[in-house]
Amino acid sequence: MIIPAIDLIDGKVVRLYQGDYQQSTEYKLDPVDVVKRYAAAGAEILHIVDLTGAKDTNKRQLGLIKSMVATGLMRFQSGGGIRSEQDVQDLLEAGIERVVIGSKAVSDQAEVAQWFTQFGPEHIVLALDINIDADGNKFVATHGWQQDSGVSIDALITFYAQYGLKHVLCTDISRDGTLQGANESLYAELVAQYPDIQWQASGGIGSLQDIKNLIPTKVQGVILGRALLEGKFTLEEALACWQGA
């Protein structure tokens, strides 16, 4: 499935380069109009990142997110600084189908495990952003990629599998925002190792060929952000490419 992504800061559509707030690009687009446009193109689900809420949970853009969901045009998954049970509940009550949890899933595993039990694993996506070292070890970064947790992706998956883990959005940090292509070998390895998980690939996709290159990996979802906003190809073209697999 092709999953377009939209990053929001103070109601504006933006993209960050490798997670850096100091390297952001603003696009003159209305978020609700983006929902309508992507739905018209055939998208079934939209990935929303609340970057304002990620910095300050008291400023979470729930009103805007609710207005996007209220279009009724597609399904949504959303995250950005999810730190409490209330954060999860607020998004689900706003109509978000799946809440995306990143740093908290690394730093407070016992608490997040409780959320799996309370809300159901079908409503949670783990967002695991990884750095790959020279030896091929895959360590998860946290806090907007500013900190290396020292925790491996394998350790986290093994832990959360006990609680019914279903969805993982994995980003190779070195590729994100670069439009240099996704890390196909990484996703092929992860899908083969953990076939029961619905994997979403994110980071680096800048051409239709990059999408085609992901098809053999058997990932279930492909996140598209900057490439769509900058017109590298249309969402219609991306969907046709994926469906032609």
- Residues annotated as catalytic are 7, 129
Rounded Cα distance between 82 and 99, Å, is 8
CA 220 to chain centre: 13
Which helix H or strand E contains 45, and what residues bound it? strand 45-50
Rounded Cα distance between 32 and 24, Å, is 20
Encoding tokens for residue 173?
């940090």
Greatest alpha-carbon pair distance for the chain in Å reads 47
Q: Specify the long-range contacts of residues 181-189, CB closer than 8 Å, at least 24 apart.
A: 181/205, 181/206, 181/207, 181/210, 181/213, 182/210, 182/213, 182/214, 182/222, 183/132, 184/213, 184/214, 184/216, 184/217, 186/132, 186/138, 187/214, 187/217, 187/219, 188/216, 188/217, 188/218
Q: How many CB atoms lie within 10 A of CB 124?
A: 28
Start-to-end CA distance of the chain, whole Å, equals 11
Amino acid at 69: V
